[in-house]
Amino acid sequence: MNDAEGLKKIAGEAACEFVKSGMRVGLGTGSTVKYTVLELARRIQEEGLQIVGVPTSIATENLARENGVPLVELGSLDGLDIVIDGTDEFDPNFQLIKGGGAALLREKIVAQQSAAMVVVADGRKQVECLGAFGIPIEITPFACDVTVSRLETLLKCNVQLRMNGSEYVLTDNGNCIADAHTGPNILDPLATEATILNIAGVVQVGLFNNMCDAVVLASEDGVKTLMNPVGRLKRA
Same domain, residue pair 153 and 185? yes
Alpha-carbon span 29 to 54, nearest angstrom: 11
Alpha-carbon span 127 to 117, nearest angstrom: 19
pTM above 0.75, yes or no: yes
Same domain, residue pair 87 and 45? yes
Alpha-carbon span 74 to 26, nearest angstrom: 9
Residue 190 placed within a domain: yes
Helix 33-47 / helix 58-66 crossing angle, nearest 10 deg: 30
Same domain, residue pair 103 and 218? yes
pLDDT-derived band of residue 3, with 50, 70 and 90 as boundaries?
A: confident
In three-state secondary structure terms, 60 is helix
Residue 236 placed within a domain: no
Q: What is the pLDDT of residues 5-14, one digit of tens each?
A: 888 999 999 9
Q: What residue numbers bound the domain in which 39 lies?
A: 3-124+209-223
Residue 229 placed within a domain: no
Which residues, including other chains, have CB under 8 Å from residue 25's CB and lie 6 or more apart? Answer: 19, 40, 51, 52, 53, 54, 80, 81, 82, 83, 84
Which residues, including other chains, have CB under 8 Å from residue 194's CB and lie 6 or more apart? Answer: none
Instruction: Point out the residues that are catalytic.
Output: 107
Q: What is the pLDDT of residues 155-207, one digit of tens each?
A: 999 999 999 999 999 999 999 999 999 999 999 999 999 999 999 999 999 99
